[in-house]
Amino acid sequence: MRYDIKMMMNTPTEAEELRAEIAMLAARMIAEDGADYGSAKRRAVKQLLGNRKIRGDILPDNQQIEQEVREYNALFFGDSQPQRLLQLRKFALTLMLELERFNPYLVGAILNGTAGQHSDIHLHLYADNTKEVAIFLLNKGIDFTVSENINKRNESIEMLSFMYQQEGVHLLLHTLDAIRTGTKTGGRTERANTAAVRLLIEQSQDSDATGHSPLPTDY
């Protein structure tokens, strides 16, 4: 389908159709390739529209894309994705227990239930001195790379990334004071501590590992 960007300024229906098509294409890239939401959205726009620029309000938000990822997983990976999700949650819990002194919280696709074959583990850590995390990893013989991650407040957050037992792991480092500023989207908390992840695993197992059990309300 070819879109006339100028026409869409005055035709909400066409804008909604484009938004939905971007969301579906981005969701496929996330589910199939493990792309992050930002790059999947950019690639989807480029594939559909080439190098033409569109207004930001025409782009789907992450919640719309997340819903498309859920539907894509259910349609194409219904037999394997729930088991993979449970495996990743168990592995994340093991890591969180190892890193317990740094107040670990699970975030991202493994928490919200959309993780698949190519998903990495994302943890937020909170410590008095974030350099202690790097020292801890070095003492464990873990080689890591250091990068900067920009959060929703446009703040630069240090991130340590490494491979561990063939799984990608990313640790975002925060000061201990920041532990009180957990984020929410649409009333849903976007992070879970060790106890909450353990409960989530138990609920998933009780529901035949579907991955759709509700998260604890307080974590």
Domain ranges of the chain: 5-76, 81-206
Residue 206 or residue 99, greater confidence: 99
Give residue-wise pLDDT tens across range 121-172.
999 999 999 999 999 999 999 999 999 988 777 778 999 999 999 999 999 9
- Cα of first residue to Cα of last residue in the chain, in angstroms, is 44
Q: What is the mean pLDDT of residues 185-189?
A: 51
For residue 214, what pLDDT is reported?
47
Q: What is the mean pLDDT of residues 28-55?
A: 91
Statement: the pTM of the whole predicted model exceeds 0.75: yes
CA pair distance 99, 172, nearest whole angstrom: 12
Topology (CATH) of 81-206: Beta Polymerase; domain 2 (3.30.460)
For residue 29, what pLDDT is reported?
96
C-alpha separations of 33 from 26, 43, 151, 153 in Å: 10, 12, 23, 28
Cα-to-chain-centroid distance, residue 71: 16
